[in-house]
A and B are shown apart, each in its own frame.
Chain A
Amino acid sequence: MRGADYVVKRTAFALVTIFVAVSINFVLFRLAPGSAVSNLSRVPHATQELRQALKRQFGLDKSRGRQYLIYLEQLTRGNLGVSFENEQPVSTNLKTAILNTLPMVALGTLFAIVVGTLTGVIAAWRRGTPIEGATVTTALGFYSMPTHWLGLMLVILFTGILPTGGMTNDFLINPSFWTHARDVLSHMVLPSLTLGLVLFGEYTLIVRSAMLETLGEDYILTARAKGLRPWAIIRKHALRNAMLPIVTLVALSLGYIVAGAILIETVFSWPGVGRAVYDAVLNRDYPMLQGAFLFLTISVVFFNLVADLLYYKLDPRIT
């Protein structure tokens, strides 16, 4: 039962990490200068009584320790507080944002993984040829491109051909399911492509270097000596062994994509998590920010856990 042991151990570790992150999250916002009350009561003729009332209302009159416990307790019930901005529960706001972000990010990531792996493998296999040079240069170019700049360039290029902002066409009235789906998909193309292109560069470089490492191993030469076809060598021996670093890095990058999508979602006015963070910062919407931070933390830890578990699946040496 070593496998189950490993899963339990890694999961427990992930939960502890989240707990620590949540605690830091709590402390961080209390360390920030000023208080929520002083910001809220910044109205003319705010009386001491109003301050006291606000403090009581938000539970800020209690001790720090007590506040922390209440915070944890509410968290376990899924209560993330109320947004200052639209007075909706943060969890409701976040849920909408996450559901908007996921398909866009998923499409871009899928594009990056497929194209990145393919070009990375080709670059490694054709080492030293112009093909490799061209691939690496292209990949480096996209990898080092500022996301928002690339996004803006795509906006300029595709204006009039594809929608460049928002998630739906507001002028569609009572669209059928398919019309709606097509509408959302066409809005999704540009932000997804931007994300996909930037990630593709990164993945190509990762896959190439991982492949080069495994291609230099003796068992590749052994496979060649045994008469295995080149493509089978890549698939059966090289890529399988190169998967280890690739999977880790891809999984780790997935955790950060959600945060990285801030720029893309801002450029394309995509109403997702990144955009929510951006708006929350502008509006000093602390509960919303806190909730978004929590979500980002959980997503990073979650994908770390996924990487660990995949590692276990891919590498027989890890127990």
Chain B
Amino acid sequence: MSAVGAPLLDVDDLVVRYPVPRGLIGLLRRRPQLAVHAVEGVTLVVEAGELVALVGESGCGKTTTAQAVLRLVDPLSGSIRFQGDDITQLGMRALRPLRRRMQIVYQDPYESLDPRLRVQATVEEPLLIHRMGGSKGERASLVSDALARAGLSPPELFLDRFPHQLSGGQRQRVAIAAALVLDPQLLVADEPVSMLDVSVRAGVLRLLEELKASGLGILMITHDLSTAARFADRIAVMYLGRIVEEGPAGEVVRNPQHPYTKALLSVVPRRDPRMRRRPQILRGETPDAVRIPSGCRFHPRCPIAIDVCTTEDPSLRRTDSTQSPHHRAACLLA
């Protein structure tokens, strides 16, 4: 049924808001219903065999975007298309067969595994949910395959262990194996390495790279621009619920257009300690996502903002100084 040529994942103008509880007094005084504007019009495409990095600081809506894409959170408006099929409005029941094809890996491998299940049971569970894998023996071999693919070999060494008997990197690999066992087409990785030791990060990231090479589409959420620059094909920079810059990874890093991206890049340490660049520290805090600033949402912290920025909300567009036609930024001055 999926349309030929349609992208693996096509998110268009996605909006997710969380209502703020008013409380009884607020209700009685008829205060307006406030909402946290977690995601405000995100448009994003992930193709098969592509790794897209969604970059931004904490609280900018990265994780909400990831969860909305998998319909774990309900969007207010916009559309999510998976392999050409609109899944924005599907109910729990209709989503179930789709869950097979899109999986998620979480940030904290100490939290995302059920402490009471052995590795074998954790990885086998998705097969049981979707009634796949046939006999017990076949399932066992699928589980072993998934573990081996996730870089846990020999798998027999890990099958009978509990999560607390594994290291952080091994746990994350188990989580990835549990996602891979269903042979999904899309993998959403929510900060897959931020809780891991630096020494095991590279291993997990290389694993994602291999999976990508085998045709998996990956949406990686991260706050680490240097990781994104090294491993992603494309980078989307998010600020306060909106994508402010998007383009091929190399382009975005070498030739950033949005002042927010520039600020983020300026604090990435250089490899050569003699080459010092003055880090550009942003003023103030990220604004409250309940009260989004008028005009360009970045203007209160922007080092180059002018008057018009406080009134006009820029959309994502090509800028004059970009080399790639796919490199776009949402800044009036770029």
Contacts and interface: CB of A to CB of B under 8 A. Distances in A.
A228 B164 contact: no
26 contacts: A217-B111, A218-B106, A218-B107, A218-B111, A218-B112, A219-B111, A219-B114, A221-B67, A222-B104, A222-B113, A223-B125, A225-B72, A225-B99, A225-B104, A226-B103, A226-B129, A227-B96, A227-B99, A230-B92, A237-B114, A240-B114, A241-B115, A241-B116, A316-B116, A317-B115, A317-B164
Nearest to B127: A226
B108 interface: yes
B115 A226 contact: no
A219 B109 CA distance: 9
Nearest to A243: B116
B130 interface: yes
A223 B113 CA distance: 9
A218 B108 contact: yes
Interface of A: 217-219, 221-228, 230, 232, 237, 240-241, 314-317
Contacts of B111: 217-219
Contacts of B126: 226-227
A6 to B, nearest CB: 16
Contacts of B113: 219, 222
Q: For the complex of A and B, list the 3 residue pairs with the smallest distance between their C-beta atoms, beginning with the closest.
A: A227-B99, A218-B112, A218-B111
Given A222-B104, A225-B99, A226-B126, 15 more contacts: A218-B106, A218-B107, A218-B112, A219-B112, A219-B113, A221-B106, A222-B106, A222-B175, A226-B99, A227-B97, A228-B125, A237-B114, A315-B115, A317-B162, A317-B164
Nearest to A226: B126
A145 B126 CA distance: 46
A241 B114 contact: yes
Interface residues of B, number: 29
Contact of A225 (B70, B108, B114, B164): B70
B100 A227 contact: yes
Nearest to A220: B114
Contacts of A221: 67, 72, 104, 106, 112
A240 B116 contact: yes
B95 interface: yes
Nearest to A237: B114
Contact of B129 (A228, A230, A241): A228
B129 A222 contact: no
A141 B217 CA distance: 53
A182 to B, nearest CB: 43
Interface of B: 67, 70, 72, 92, 95-97, 99-100, 103-104, 106-108, 111-116, 125-126, 129-130, 162, 164, 175, 178, 182
A225 B103 contact: yes
A34 B178 CA distance: 71
Nearest to A128: B21
B116 A227 contact: no
B72 A224 contact: yes
Contacts of B106: 218, 221-222
Contact of A316 (B96, B162, B182): B162
Nearest to B164: A317
Contacts of B95: 227
A319 to B, nearest CB: 10
Given A315-B116, A316-B116, A226 B125 contact: yes
Contacts of A240: 114, 116
A228 B96 CA distance: 8
Contacts of B97: 227
Contacts of A316: 115-116, 162, 164
Contacts of B114: 219, 223, 237, 240-241
- Most A CB within 10 A of own CB, among B99, B100, B116: B116
A230 B93 CA distance: 11
- Most B CB within 10 A of own CB, among A219, A230, A240: A219
Contacts of B178: 222, 226
Contacts of A314: 116
Contacts of B182: 226
A166 B182 CA distance: 63
Contacts of B104: 221-222, 225
A227 to B, nearest CB: 3
Contacts of A226: 99, 103, 125-126, 129, 178, 182
